[in-house]
Amino acid sequence: MNSFVGKRALVAAAGAIALLSACQDKRVKAVNSGITRDSLLTVIGKGAPGVDSLPNVYTRERYLVDGKNWEVFYFASNGKHLTAATKDTLPWKDLTPIVIVDRVVVGKDWPFWDSVATAHKFSVHPH
C-alpha cells in the first residue's frame, strides 16, 4: 500500500510540474541560467510596447551580499510596472522571479527564489 501512495504522490508532483510549465510565459521559458542581464532584458522584452529600460518587469529588488550584487526581476507578462504612483495591483503568484547575480541569470521561478532567499535570509513576498 505504501508504494501505491508513493506512486500517486510522484504522479501528482509530475503533473503539477507539467501544469506549471504549461502556464509559464514563452519569454520566461526562453530564459536560461548563464545569460547576461542585457540578454535577459532582450528575451523578456519581446513584444513590449514602446521604449522601456526594464520591459515586462513589474518590480525588482536588489541586494549586496558578500561582495555580490543580487537582483531579482519580477516578470509580468502583461507589461505592467509597480511605481510609487500606482498601487500593488498584481498578485505575486502571477509574477515570475528571475534571479541575477553579478549581471548573470542564475535561476528563475518561485521554488528557486524561495530556496535562495531562505539560504541568504532575504525577505520574500507571499505568493
Is residue 77 over pLDDT 60? yes
- 126: in domain: no
Give the tens place of pLDDT for each residue, 81-118.
887 777 777 899 999 999 999 999 999 999 999 999 99
CATH number, domain containing residue 58: 3.30.1450.10
- 125: in domain: no
> How many structural domains comprise the chain?
1
- 7: in domain: yes
- Output the nine-digit C-alpha cell for 64: 549586496
- 111: in domain: yes
Cα angle: 16, vertex 21, 24; to 5 degrees: 125
Give the tens place of pLDDT for each residue, 62-71.
999 999 999 9
- 127: in domain: no
Give the tens place of pLDDT for each residue, 17-56.
434 444 679 999 999 999 999 999 999 998 887 778 899 9
- 74: in domain: yes
Which residues, in sequence order, are CB contacts of 31 under 8 Å at separation 6+? 40, 43, 44, 98, 105, 108
Q: Longest Cα pair distance anywhere in the chain, in angstroms? A: 59
Calpha distance 100→76 (Å, rounded): 17
Which residues, in sequence order, are CB contacts of 118 under 8 Å at separation 6+? none
Domain limits for position 77? 2-120
